Amino acid sequence: QLQLVESGGGLVQPGGSLRLSCVVSGDTLDGYAIGWFRQAPGKEREGVSCITTGETLYRDSVKGRFTISRDNAKNTVYLQMNSLKPEDTAVYYCGSMEARSGRYYYAFFNAPNAYGPWGQGTQVTVSS
């Protein structure tokens, strides 16, 4: 089972940027879907973006603003977040699923807890 540690959150004004990092240990990134998820107070966890060897996924509300990438040499997945909005405020988590079955696609949009177990996450607060 992979271990994932998130970092990079903080307080930023609307329109600002942050880059989140997810350091992965226990195996290489190949063969896994690594996803970023978020949970705001009182709301359910939702998928933000996901990356596999050959595919990237985004929820509609972040398309054109967020970019997911991976550095195989560092076993790290990044989430570059630009043009941040107050509604992006949440705790952000990264999670993983084996990619070979293709179930990661459905789970990302419909059953995000399948990417757990979850770490502590990193808080992103967008406020003036």
Q: Does the pLDDT at position 1 exceed 90?
A: no
- Our CA angle for 95, 98, 100, nearest 5°, is 145
The tens digit of pLDDT for each residue in 116-125 reads 888 899 999 9
122-126, strands of its sheet edge to edge:
10-12, 122-126, 90-98, 32-39, 46-51, 56-58
Q: Look at the alpha carbons of 33, 38, 43, 47 in this order and tell me if their dihedral is positive or negative.
A: negative
The tens digit of pLDDT for each residue in 56-97 reads 999 999 999 999 999 999 999 999 999 999 999 999 999 999
Between CA 128 and CA 115 the distance in angstroms is 32
Q: Does the pLDDT at position 102 exceed 90?
A: no
